[in-house]
Amino acid sequence: MSAYNFAFFDEGSKREIRRATLKAIAIPGYQVPFASREMPIARGWGTGGLQLTLSLVGKEDVLKVIDQGSDESVNAVNIKKLVGKTTGIRATEETSEATLIQSRHRIPEIPLSEGQILVLQVPLPEPLRAYESSELVTKKLHGEREYSGAWLMLFEQIMRYGNMSTGADHPVLVHDRYVMAPSPIPRFDNPKMNRSEALILLGAGREKKVYAVPPHTQVVSLAFDDYLFQTESSAGNSCKLCGATDVFMDEFVHEETGETYHQCNDTSYCLSRLNRKVLHQEVPLNG
Amino acid sequence: MSLDTVHDIQIAYRKLLNSMARPGVISNLEEQAKKLEIEVGCNPSTMVLALMLLDTEVTFHVVSQRAAQITKLLNQLTYAKVVEVEQAQYIFVLNDAGSVELEKALEMAKTGDLNNPHESATVIVEADVVSGDSGLLLKGPGIKTGSVVHVKRSGDWIGIREQKNAEFPTGIDLVFVDPNHQLVCLPRTTQIVEQVIG
């Protein structure tokens, strides 16, 4: 017998998160408050995502956890271990194989499918927080669909820097109603949320909020008619390892030569491309 | 074999979640419902949903000719608080409730307010038939182009639902289950654009 409940939580905690999740799906983009639990990892380290994952997970699930594109970073490994040890389910790095994908700050490069649920960890769920510190007021602003502040933030960036300088977490409008923080994913990933095949759930443990983007739901990144929304450009860059273009890349500086080079940010995507290359190269050797 | 309150409820939840996220997609709770050992007096699938959603943190109301008996049972099994229909977070409208009772329950169900649209009722309705035959054409979030579902239940629930959901984000979310344990969800975002009478 294990010393923990299946999926760590008691059933009451799961029920609380499940009820909030169902309401979140019914009101796309609206932040549903929930009784966030204390977790064995620190708040701000993915407890919201973890709580969602634990409320969802069953014996048949295959889990993938990524942290800024990497399957092997500390945060991802710890979460994977916790879920694995309390459920006994298998973890995978292969995106297409996973039924549950918990992610911090990235949406995988491979398009998600109908049978998958993407859980995003959210540090700051409130897109209006930067200019309004009161929760009571931001709730009212959402209620009244009063988003001039969100537009003004982008406008000020244009005035100051000549373009919208949101590095990540570029606000989106969901189902033509709620302005939503898509979690700190790069702008490159924002379009993947629009009419996604997979259900996307977002959890903020510290801020005690759950929200959702159901499949096939319109998600539009905020932009102006004369200043269009732009994703980070990777034009001219290719991955040093696998040669991929048109993916989100990390920039590195070679310590000795001082040269800059790029690599896929999504490590499992890069790895599967490399593996495929190796297999293809082996064919002529046999012949 | 009895219902496993951890694993069977989890499987049922994922089915409900899938149907809620994809309105018109029918899930089947038969496997879980058949494991219920207690004689509940309502559709066993309704009971599975009650066990999944209710506990001491939430409120509920039962609309049925045997409301007193079933309310007592649900309360004893889940410790959820019994309240009047207009305050209830979860409303169960059973098969023996007539069309007038269903309409009244929907009319009185709380829709939340603009600041707190989540403080609205989820109404679980026992229908005569839930199937993928032609009936209602659905549109909205969770639906790619259009989804067709047939829900047979007496009463003008479609009209009242439309009124209740007129001002998004406030509204009510409906879950239908039929005697064959077929389940379909109509969250407030779903629009019924066409009714094919056949």
Give per-residue pLDDT as tens, A46-101.
Answer: 999 999 999 999 999 999 999 999 999 999 999 999 999 999 999 999 999 999 99
B124 vs A contacts (CB less than 8 Å)? none
A270 catalytic residue (yes or no):
yes
HSE at residue A204, side-chain half, CA atoms within 13 A, is 22
- CA nearest B173: which of B4, B49, B57? B49
Task: Give domain limits for chain A.
Answer: 11-221, 249-286
Mean pLDDT, rounded, for A219-242: 92
Domain A11-221: which topology?
Rossmann fold (3.40.50)
Measure the CA–CA gap between B141 and B137, rounded to whole angstroms: 14
B16 vs A contacts (CB less than 8 Å)? 22
Measure the CA–CA gap between A53 and A118, rounded to whole angstroms: 9
**Best residue in A1, A22, A147 for a mutation probing chain B (most B CBs within 10 Å):** A22
Q: What is the mean pLDDT of chain A?
A: 93
A80's enclosing H/E stretch is helix A74-87
**Assigned CATH for B7-130+153-191:** 3.40.50.11310
Residue A210 DSSP symbol: E
The residue behind tokens 């995502």 is A49
A29 catalytic residue (yes or no):
yes
Question: In this complex, which of A11, A177, A217 lies closest to B6 when CB atoms are compared?
Answer: A11
Q: In the prediction, which pLDDT does B197 show?
A: 64
B115 vs A contacts (CB less than 8 Å)? 139-140, 142-143
Cβ(A92)–Cβ(A100) below 8 Å: no
User: For residue range B11-27, what is the model confidence (pLDDT) as tens digits?
Assistant: 999 999 999 999 999 99
Task: Give domain limits for chain B.
Answer: 7-130+153-191
Q: Which is catalytic among the residues A48, A69, A205, A270?
A: A270
A167 catalytic residue (yes or no):
no
ipTM of the complex: 0.97
CA distances from A276 to A281, B146, B172 (A): 9, 38, 50
Q: Which is catalytic among the residues A29, A48, A49, A203?
A: A29
Q: Is A214 on the interface with B (CB under 8 A)?
A: yes
Measure the CA–CA gap between A155 and A152, rounded to whole angstroms: 5
pLDDT of residue A285 exceeding 70, the answer is no
